[in-house]
A = this chain, B = another copy of it.
């Protein structure tokens, strides 16, 4: 067993075994003894200020990142200026998996608020995967989960209407806040209407209108970025396309 645990400049331990996010993060489900074997996994921490990027498309791929605090968005840019937000990430979630395939990142990861990540050098992850039973499997699960989530977004973008998309988005957010010990019914969105719109394949005005409509109908209470879900049952029904339906 190792004697020392890596320490950041500010003196904080970076060991997974000391982290309270284990059950949300890469080491989920691993035994205590396995957890201690991961002490070396994290190369260090990195702070990222709001609006700054953790990595940009084209950057060489060297590490993946576990969000320790704060939140991020990932987006892809087209030459003509259009961009598409491909996801929002919260604490415990893993960033940078897109980089493995070409050894350079294919999207930008931008902090939505002042944030901090654990840097997990990919070489170290591969190496430890050989030694620590369970790490490999857990890592595969993380990647697979990202694929499944992306399929969900494709479903949303490909076959839902504006209000259904927003309802699905809000319920997804609520569920993820809940998993982190926050209120399921009341939360603060860190992203702008434009970013939500980009993620949902809508213009910001459409997002705004959908918010207003939900509020009129008593489904939610909106105050800028602060959201309260008032009727999750009806919200859930919306996603499943109760409405007679036509248009797109």
Contact = CB atoms under 8 A, between A and B. Distances in A.
Question: Main secondary structure on chain A at its contact with chain B?
Answer: helix
A53 B113 CA distance: 45
Interface in A120-150: 126, 129-130, 136-137, 140-148, 150
- Interface-centre pick from A126, A158, A159 (highest chain B CB count, 10 A): A158
A151 B102 CA distance: 14
A14 interface: no
Interface string A157-176: 11100000000000000000
A79 B101 CA distance: 34
Interface string A198-235: 11110000000000000000000000000000000000
A40 interface: no
Interface residues of A, number: 45
Copies in the assembly, this chain: 2
B147 A98 contact: yes
A84 B154 contact: yes
A76 interface: yes
A136 B145 contact: no
B240 A78 contact: yes
A144 B82 contact: no
Nearest to A99: B144
B76 A141 contact: no
B148 A147 contact: no
A80 interface: yes
- Interface-centre pick from A76, A129, A137, A150 (highest chain B CB count, 10 A): A150
